Homo-oligomer: A and B are copies of this chain.
């Protein structure tokens, strides 16, 4: 006798996959260092803030940066980026202190959009400053009349800031995409 269907034996009913995204989210998300609300995320934010402020201070310390539009734009971009990173660093500190998760889809979406905008602006500012620095230093050999070293340092700091904000952006984007 071969009675294989229907299943009348006592069976352990497996968890229902009811298509609710909340369930999928809870199953799939892991606590990757660098995400908002983790010590790695806070470290990245502080690194972004520190290198942004360093770029700002070095650029402002040159007297003639206002004569070049790209350098003024660099100052504006790193001011925006440092403010954003400092704000999110405070949010991270709060989340770590009260052990609260920042996995709300709306919060992650807001962080992703903000990170995307600030990182793009900082990268654009760093690239345009780098173009002008290379023009003054290599193409025109005109470093005697310009603060080449300071311009280069400020540009390098802006790039460092972009390097630090990119993992935050990619991790937030990844979290947003995988929770949908």
Contact = CB atoms under 8 A, between A and B. Distances in A.
Chain A contact surface mostly: helix
A180 interface: yes
Interface string A127-151: 1111110110011000000000000
A13 B11 contact: yes
Interface in A1-31: 6-11, 13-17, 19, 24, 27-28
A68 B136 CA distance: 10
B17 A11 contact: no
- Sort chain A's interface into a size bin: 35 or more
Contacts of A11: 6-7, 11, 13
A70 interface: yes
Contacts of A27: 17, 19
A10 B8 contact: yes
